[in-house]
Structure 1
Amino acid sequence: MNMTLDNYNSTEFIQSSSIIKQLNTHPIDTNNIDNVFNITSCIIITFMFSLIVIFSIFGNILVMWIILNNRRMRTITNCFLFNLSAADLLTIFQIIPNVYYVLQNDWIFGIAYCKFSQFFTSFNIAISVFTFIAISSDR
């Protein structure tokens, strides 16, 4: 597959990643890309991302709860970690529609949420990067 960045869409990018490429048992047919993954691959991918979502929600809420409920945990660094946990928690909610899109190759959430999702993903990455910069400069 010899492609330039101009015609390299997100579906082809995701399908070319190593784990997805191993799970993908069907060759990519650009005329009919409806059923890219077989049912076993869909179940494995859904299960793995479900575990990521569950553990991420639990872990980030736990970090936020500990920082809020313990007075001695309210330091500047921990405030930054709280901010990072909140940003990660918001990022987790972007996983569900994106995994559905990758598996079904169908965006059912509308054009407005599509644009919001793209912005929100970039915004959350920026929040995380700037939080790490703030933690580093505080040190």
Structure 2
Amino acid sequence: MAFNSSDYLDALGESGLYEQNCTLADLRPHEFNASALDAYNISWELEESLMRCSYDARRINCSAADALCLCAKEIYRDYCAGRPEYYSYVYRIIGTLFQGIIFVIGVIGNAMVVIVVARNKNMATPTNCYLVSLAVADCAVLVAAVPQEIVSYFLIGNHWIWGRGGCAILVFLQNLGINASSLSLTAFTVERYIAICHPMKAQTVCTVERAKKITLLVWLFAVCYCAPWLFLTQVVPLKYAVDYPTQECTFKLSRDQYLYYFFLDFVVFYVVPLLPLLRPVLVHRQDPVHVADA
């Protein structure tokens, strides 16, 4: 089984890995036949190991003058391990600056909403209950997403430093915050519609106690719905040519197996919340009084 370097070149081009330092054009017509393998001290077993990425290419002995062997060695290393890739310094500075501003303003602003409502009893209204819930959900998303995004600017590739527990918890909090935010916003909108369009009915329906119960149900449902994310993530090792172990936080199953879960997210947290908002529009169109007024 001879190894044709052009196959590796095609694989490197399709995967979009890393730019090579050596000139690859000279390797296209070259084929590692038996005599070439003997000359480079590469056995058939070693060639198979290299193609399976189960051999450390740094152990291949090449003289400094043998550019072809050195270039082939570099292709092996980059294909199997990958060269470290970092963000540029400009990207790090700009990303850290803007992400940091968003994080500080977002956390402080939402925390102030919770503190102000909690300290002023006269602000204990149904509307403010939903606003507090929305503020807590937004804080959860900010805390779970932004710090890790800033840290990633200074790490190699997709390297994850928070371990298995951090992977599960942060992914869970991100989904929890987004979903609880959607449900809180829906409850807030329905409450405002009743208060404005049915003020007499709102005196008995839109109460603080009921708003607190609805908020509690919103968060209980969001927690139960997002709980599977605590078990659907994993940390897997990365193959980077560095002297320390690297790992990535990723899905435990293939992305195709999450399709129904993602589709359910769309229906439950985006389509269903629109239904109570569309009802007043449909009623308005069917009401002959409104039609006559128009």
Cα RMSD (Å) of the superposition? 2.0
Amino acid at match of 2:151: Y
Give the 5 Å matches for 1:63-74: 63-74=113-124
1:101 aligns with: 152
Instruction: State how far apart, in whole Å, the 1-side matches of 2:119 and 2:135 are.
Output: 15
Instruction: State how far apart, in whole Å, the 1-side matches of 2:168 and 2:121 are.
Output: 40
> Which of 177, 184, 200 is the matching residue for 1:124?
177
> Which of 26, 34, 39 is the matching residue for 2:85?
34
Q: Deviations over 1:75-115 (max 9, x none)?
A: 00100101111111122211101332355231111022112
**Residue 112 (structure 2) pairs with residue 83 (structure 1):** no
Instruction: State how far apart, in whole Å, the 2-side matches of 1:52 and 1:39 are.
Output: 20
TM superposition score normalised by structure 1: 0.72
Instruction: Identify the structure with the greater strand proportion.
Output: 2
Instruction: State how far apart, in whole Å, the 2-side matches of 1:87 and 1:28 are.
Output: 38
8 A Cα contact 2:138 2:177, kept in partner: yes
8 A Cα contact 2:92 2:153, kept in partner: no
Instruction: State how far apart, in whole Å, the 1-side matches of 2:176 and 2:154 are.
Output: 24
> Which of 111, 114, 122 is the matching residue for 2:164?
111
The structure, 1 or 2, with the larger RCO (C-alpha pairs under 8 Å, 6+ apart) is 1
Amino acid at match of 1:74: A
Which of the two has higher C-alpha Rg?
A: 2
Instruction: Identify the structure with the greater helix proportion.
Output: 1
User: For 2:108, what is the secondary structure of its paired residue?
Assistant: helix
Identity rate of aligned residues, in percent? 23
Q: State the shift of 1:28 in Å.
A: 6.4
Structure 2's unaligned 5+ residue stretches are 1-15, 19-78, 193-294
1:61 aligns with: 111
TM superposition score normalised by structure 2: 0.36
Instruction: State how far apart, in whole Å, the 1-side matches of 2:132 and 2:188 are.
Output: 11
8 A Cα contact 2:140 2:174, kept in partner: no
Instruction: State how far apart, in whole Å, the 1-side matches of 2:180 and 2:167 are.
Output: 20
Q: Deviations over 1:107-127 (max 9, x none)?
A: 111022112211211111110
Instruction: State how far apart, in whole Å, the 2-side matches of 1:122 and 1:67 are.
Output: 25
Structure 1's unaligned 5+ residue stretches are 1-26
Amino acid at match of 1:61: A
Greater Cα shift, 82-91 or 95-104: 95-104
Q: How many residues align?
A: 112
Instruction: State how far apart, in whole Å, the 2-side matches of 1:98 and 1:109 are.
Output: 12
